[in-house]
């Protein structure tokens, strides 16, 4: 990754100064913008990894006779057949229980094998809902001077403050205010994922990313690996995917 040139900028659009770390090769493109509800705006080089996943929850369960009843188009005409099937399954289960009671565990399986049949569980997959999307962003920050080091430190502290709750009365306060949430935008981002507003749940800084803790003459680290783990605040639904929406 190219070295970076970092500068601090102020803007009347945001409550706090913009923390800008742009790439040396092209300072106006290939950036990741992180804007918090607390008023912070941080501009970093693109992370080394950008990904997106969609997860839905399903559960397998035995549908059994309930599914058989619901599948009948004419309940009145099929009631006799359904009841007959129900009796047959109850009879087989009763024989299996009796076999286990008399002959011990496993007798029901032996019965099933010799009879060549089992009770059809009629398993089906049932949709339970969508899971919250989580994603990680990893930044390789390579300061080349004291200004870079200072700006990266400011960015890390802003991210850390934004991920934590506030207690106005200090440790003696009984109420906590919610941490900030974040909006993440990539530029250019036409073909990159679009995330919903997300909470920063964990962040990790590695100041020994070069394999050992190497420092500049001024004491700043030669390289910092910054890992940010986010979880979106709301689940993604079909109507939000596509065009300029999320995905």
Extents of the domains making up the chain: 4-54+132-240, 57-129
How far is Cα 159 from Cα 172, in angstroms, rounded to an integer? 25
The two three-digit tokens of residue 228, written as one number:
């940010």
Phi, psi of 200 (to 5 degrees): -85, 105
Q: How far is CA 30 from CA 21, 41, 51, 154, in A?
A: 11, 16, 16, 21
How far is Cα 116 from Cα 92, in angstroms, rounded to an integer? 12
Q: How far is CA 65 from CA 62, 79, 84, in A?
A: 9, 12, 11
The average pLDDT across 19-33 equals 63
Pairs from 16-24 (Cβ < 8 Å, separation ≥ 24): 16/40, 16/41, 16/158, 18/42, 18/43, 19/43, 19/151, 19/154, 19/155, 19/158, 20/151, 21/45, 21/141, 21/148, 21/151, 21/152, 21/155
Residues in the chain: 247
Is-contact 31 61, C-beta < 8 A? no
pLDDT recorded at residue 231: 95
How far is Cα 187 from Cα 184, in angstroms, rounded to an integer? 10
pLDDT recorded at residue 62: 75
Burial class (CB in 10 A: 0-12, 13-18, 19+), 82: middle
Pairing of strands 18-23, 4-9: antiparallel
Whole-model pTM: value is: 0.70
122-167 pLDDT per residue, tens? 788 888 888 999 999 999 888 888 888 888 899 999 999 999 999 8
- Decide which of 75 and 31 is more confident: 31
Is-contact 192 244, C-beta < 8 A? no
Q: Which of 23-27, 35-39, 149-153 has the lowest mean pLDDT?
A: 23-27
Residue 65 has pLDDT above 80, yes or no: no
């Amino acid at each position: 990754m190219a070295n970076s040139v970092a500068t601090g900028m102020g803007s009347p659009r945001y409550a706090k100064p913009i923390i800008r770390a742009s790439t040396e090769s092209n300072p106006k493109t290939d950036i990741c913008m992180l804007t918090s509800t607390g008023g912070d705006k941080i501009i970093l080089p693109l992370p080394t990894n950008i990904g997106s996943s969609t997860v839905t929850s399903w559960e397998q369960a035995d549908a059994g006779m309930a599914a058989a009843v619901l599948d009948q188009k004419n309940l009145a005409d099929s009631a006799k057949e359904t009841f007959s099937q129900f009796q047959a399954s109850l009879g087989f289960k009763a024989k299996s229980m009796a076999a286990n009671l008399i002959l011990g565990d496993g007798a029901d399986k032996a019965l099933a094998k010799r009879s060549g049949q089992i009770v059809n569980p009629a398993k089906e997959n049932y949709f339970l809902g969508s899971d919250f999307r989580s994603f990680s962003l990893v930044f390789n920050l390579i300061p080349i001077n004291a200004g870079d080091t200072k700006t990266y430190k400011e960015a890390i502290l802003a991210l850390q403050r934004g991920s934590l709750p506030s207690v106005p009365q200090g440790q003696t306060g009984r109420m906590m205010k919610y941490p900030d949430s974040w909006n993440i935008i990539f530029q250019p981002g036409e073909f990159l994922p679009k995330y919903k507003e997300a909470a920063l749940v964990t962040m990790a800084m590695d100041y020994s990313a070069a394999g050992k803790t190497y420092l500049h003459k001024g004491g700043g680290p030669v390289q910092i690996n910054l890992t940010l783990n986010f979880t979106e605040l709301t689940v993604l639904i079909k109507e939000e995917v596509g065009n300029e929406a999320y995905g």
